Structure formats: C-alpha cells, structure tokens
Amino acid sequence: MKLAEALLRRKELQDRLARMKTVDNKEIYEVRIKRVSVAESTDEVTAAVPKITYATFQAEYNHNARALRLIDAAIQQANWTTDIAVSDMVIQDWTPPETPEK
C-alpha cells in the first residue's frame, strides 16, 4: 500500500468512527407497526423494530476501530523509518523582504 493510500484509509476510518459515535436511535430503529384507535379501549400502538442488532453495530464499530489502530501504527512506523528529501524552502519560515531605507 502506498503511503498516500494509507493516509486516505486512515481518514476514511476516522470519519466512519466519528459518524458511528453519533448514531441516533432513529437510525437504528424504524417504525413498522402503527395502529390508530380501532375501538374505545384501544389506543394508538407503535412498535420500534431494530434495523440491525446492537451486537452487529458494536462488531462493526470494533472492526473499524481495530483497522484504524493498525493503519495508524503502519503510518507511524513509516514515519519513524523513512526520510524524505525536501528543499530548504519547505523548512524555512517566511521572512518579509527587506525594504530599502529612504
């Protein structure tokens, strides 16, 4: 895997985990049964049915978190073992040009 691909995959996993952390119950459950009054003694009945089980959601979260840890470790290893060549211009901070005195 190229380093650029690893960096993109890490970002993708970070975004996916961030979205999973903010999952609302509305995204996991859907309304399947909704009944309006049929008789005097029966009120509206609503049932929330899971689209996926919590165990499935947790397993997906754990898988993504593990993948993120592994790709991050690979990126860190590359960071510590690889030197790159850059020009001096990349390293130097910007300095304002000197203005001639009048």
At 58, the amino acid letter reads: Q
- Give the burial class of 72: count Cβ atoms within 10 A of its Cβ; 0-12 exposed, 13-18 middle, 19 or more buried: middle
pLDDT band at 89 (very low <50, low <70, confident <90, very high): confident
Q: At what angle do helices 54-81 and 3-21 cross, to 10 degrees?
A: 150
pLDDT in tens, 14-38: 999 999 888 776 667 766 666 666 6
pLDDT in tens, 40-75: 776 777 777 777 777 888 899 999 999 999 999 999
In which residue are the tokens 């895997």 written?
1
Question: What are the extents of the domains in the chain?
Answer: 3-82
User: Is the pLDDT at 2 greater than 70, yes or no?
Assistant: yes
